[in-house]
Structure 1
Amino acid sequence: MAYVDHAFSISDEDIMIESPFSFSRRPPVKEIAFAVALLVFGSVFIVAGVIMATHKVGGDRTHGLFFAGLGSVLFLPGFYYTRIAYYAYKGYKGFSFDNIPPV
């Protein structure tokens, strides 16, 4: 009977050992650099797209709208994960580096 009780018992030690996630306090440098790169390139593409669309530089208006759309697709996840990294660095409640997915 003791074997059955031990086989089906769950303790804190078992949960910590069998966790598929690794918890570390070090910031994920590669993921943060990727998020900042997305943010910067997205901002540059949005500005370039707006300039191209309004002044017709480097093509017609359609090219400018394409660049602005591509910039917004790059900007949104970059801003989101950079914001999470910044708030986790500052120590705000509810934000941690574990919320940033691995690349």
Structure 2
Amino acid sequence: MAYVDHAFSISDEDIMMETSYTVNNKPPIKEIALAVALLVFGVLGLVFGVIMAVNKVGGDHTHGIFFALLGGVLFLPGFYYTRIAYYAYKGYKGFSFSNIPPV
């Protein structure tokens, strides 16, 4: 079966066959779980990285800096998408679960 793009279709059949527009705004469970996991592991990486850097675990502070940077990289998207999911759940204007990209 061939793909047909109806975005540029101009016919009366399309207009008459339309149904009412419904918004499916159910929370995406996998995406929210991934965002929360990134947030948790990011916070843990930041905390343990700072502790390792201050206490010079492993002989010097470079291991701690590495873990702190890794925690920061995990923390940023985790915080961003968890915040979007929370605001969409609370019903704030301009936030929707559709703003969270699929996994």
TM-score band by shorter chain is: 0.7 to 0.9
Distance 1:95 1:37 in 2: 21
Q: Name stretches of at least 5 consecutive residues in structure 1 with no aligned partner.
A: 1-6, 17-22
Contact 1:39/1:76 (CA < 8 Å) preserved in 2? Answer: yes
RMSD: 2.0
Q: Name stretches of at least 5 consecutive residues in structure 2 with no aligned partner.
A: 1-8
Q: CA 1:97 to 1:53, structure 2 compared with 1: closer, same or farther past 3 Å?
A: same
Q: How many residues were matched structurally?
A: 90
User: For 1:54-93, what aligned pairs fall within 5 Å after superposition?
Assistant: 54-93=54-93
Give 1:54's aligned amino acid.
V
Partner of 1:52: 52
TM (norm. structure 2) is 0.79
Contact 1:52/1:59 (CA < 8 Å) preserved in 2? Answer: no
TM (norm. structure 1) is 0.79
Q: Which moved more, 1:23-32 or 1:64-73?
A: 23-32
Deviation, 1:11, is: 4.2
Q: Which runs of 4+ in 1 moved over 6 A?
A: none
| Identity fraction in percent | 72
Distance 2:70 2:84 in 1: 22
